[in-house]
Structure 1
């Protein structure tokens, strides 16, 4: 209890003085493990900016606890590992080199690499690799509507949501804005059947030919009517339509271009090194 009380007071002092308390080598000690010291100044640096007083207390307690446990583990490691096992200079140097290379590559990617992917590139990749995009679930385009049992003009609504007439679609949307508790007209995008079934009290039947022979699905529970119109569909194990996998193809092509950019960069630097005679082979 004394320890928690002391940490609480410390956290309050640190929080209230963060803006004007200097970080110096003579900063008061917070905790120590076998001569290794955690100071108030170090603790201040670790506290996130704009943190509340209560959050500062929790953060301080957690940080000190983690620091002590980490220091104890390090102490045991120093005592029990052989000199060879403790020699991590090469590991640190390799990590530093990898980190610097990665930062430089990312800098050049931002400065010189164009992330533009054209529609033609997407279409060409899809046509070449379409067999790699097999659906693992049924997808549909259509309409979903949920409305209260006492909603007006239900008969007309059933006519509108089944119609292909653009004027009926405008009327349907106006009706849904006024009366539906939830609706989605997704005629221009693919949605999984499972996503729509998750909105229904009884899911869309998962039978092989249901989507082939049924264009509409209606169900009712104790509070609402649910209406679904299937305007287009693709079944599981079919090749996915291009629109459905466009974002995935974009990500693939972007990654491919990044890899090519880095490979070209490495080759350019290699040739430059040879030309400037900074490379020597022995």
Structure 2
């Protein structure tokens, strides 16, 4: 799973991106080259209604690791993008009036938001402990089981994919119906020596859809009825036989075992730590400023 961001991080990132996009598209508010720069050494690459794109700005376009052809194509795309943005800005200014004071206020808001975000990000990198104990995971699971209701079937199972011509198929059909743990060594040996593919992690819960992917069971119309009525399932296609031994299952809307949601809970708890740490950090800064009379609020 991808790392889940806190609400604070998401909000700040969103504002920062909006601010950055606004800044790079506002040629009337910012000038990216020095006014003292020699125009002869910095020729114009493109021009729209008096706004100029200079050669020096193209150096900001990253072409690291690209060959000459790809680098040229990247530069050309940048120039075309710049031209389109300037044309849109020209049309916008012709079609409607802008409150420059309001725009400048928003730009300052974006700037300060980005500064705070980077400051808090650096603080978290220095101070956030992302380790979560099994006890914390168990406690959270017990208190919030109803939040982990399954949206799909999950199983503990054994799976083997065998050639139809294998002389070990008969042995598997004899071994798989036996109780869990029985004949495990014999099944493992067959899997290692003869199977085209296999999954024998008895303690691991997985999505049923994942284990039956690319097998004839993927198109079965009643998967719930199938696993309810069969502890061992054998199916085949033109080349292979597929063997499934269902050790345990949980159906949609049931509560999964803690092992299945352990990683998800860990991410939730890290996120709670992150939010709590930032809130405490902000509170400490505020209280310190309050004690030192560093701000005033006028009624």
What is aligned with 1:144?
159
What is aligned with 1:199?
214
- Structure 1 unmatched runs, 5+: 1-22
Residue 83 of structure 1 and its aligned partner are, at CA, apart by 4.6
Task: Indicate how the Cα distance of structure 1 residues 162 and 71 shifts in structure 2: closer, same or farther if over 3 A, else same.
Answer: same
1:205-235: CA deviation from partner (whole Å, max 9, x where unpaired): 6255543332110011111111001011111
2:264 alignment partner, SS class: helix
User: How do residues 1-282 of structure 1 correspond to structure 2 at under 5 angstroms?
Assistant: 25=39, 26-84=41-99, 87-164=102-179, 168-203=183-218, 206=222, 208-282=224-298
Structure 1 window deviating more from structure 2 (74-83 vs 179-188): it is 74-83
CA distance in 2: counterparts of 1:24 and 1:229, whole angstroms: 76
State whether residues 154 and 208 of structure 2, in contact with CA within 8 Å, keep that contact through their aligned partners in structure 1. Answer: yes
CA distance in 2: counterparts of 1:49 and 1:141, whole angstroms: 47
TM-score (norm 2): 0.80
Structure 1 window deviating more from structure 2 (62-71 vs 163-172): it is 163-172
Residue 96 of structure 1 and its aligned partner are, at CA, apart by 0.8
State whether residues 176 and 232 of structure 2, in contact with CA within 8 Å, keep that contact through their aligned partners in structure 1. Answer: no
Task: Indicate how the Cα distance of structure 1 residues 159 and 228 shifts in structure 2: closer, same or farther if over 3 A, else same.
Answer: same
- Structure 2 unmatched runs, 5+: 1-36
1:267 alignment partner, SS class: helix
State whether residues 180 and 247 of structure 2, in contact with CA within 8 Å, keep that contact through their aligned partners in structure 1. Answer: no
Q: Which gives a bigger RCO, structure 1 or 2 (Cα 8 Å, sep 6+)?
A: 2
1:63-83: CA deviation from partner (whole Å, max 9, x where unpaired): 111111111112223334325
State whether residues 78 and 86 of structure 1, in contact with CA within 8 Å, keep that contact through their aligned partners in structure 2. Answer: no
Structure 1 window deviating more from structure 2 (176-185 vs 237-246): it is 176-185
Task: Indicate how the Cα distance of structure 1 residues 47 and 182 shifts in structure 2: closer, same or farther if over 3 A, else same.
Answer: same
CA distance in 1: counterparts of 2:224 and 2:66, whole angstroms: 56
State whether residues 27 and 39 of structure 1, in contact with CA within 8 Å, keep that contact through their aligned partners in structure 2. Answer: yes
Task: Indicate how the Cα distance of structure 1 residues 124 and 57 shifts in structure 2: closer, same or farther if over 3 A, else same.
Answer: same
Residue 244 of structure 1 and its aligned partner are, at CA, apart by 0.9
What value does the CA root-mean-square deviation take over the aligned residues? 2.2
TM-score (norm 1): 0.84
1:101 alignment partner, SS class: helix
Residue 87 of structure 1 and its aligned partner are, at CA, apart by 4.1
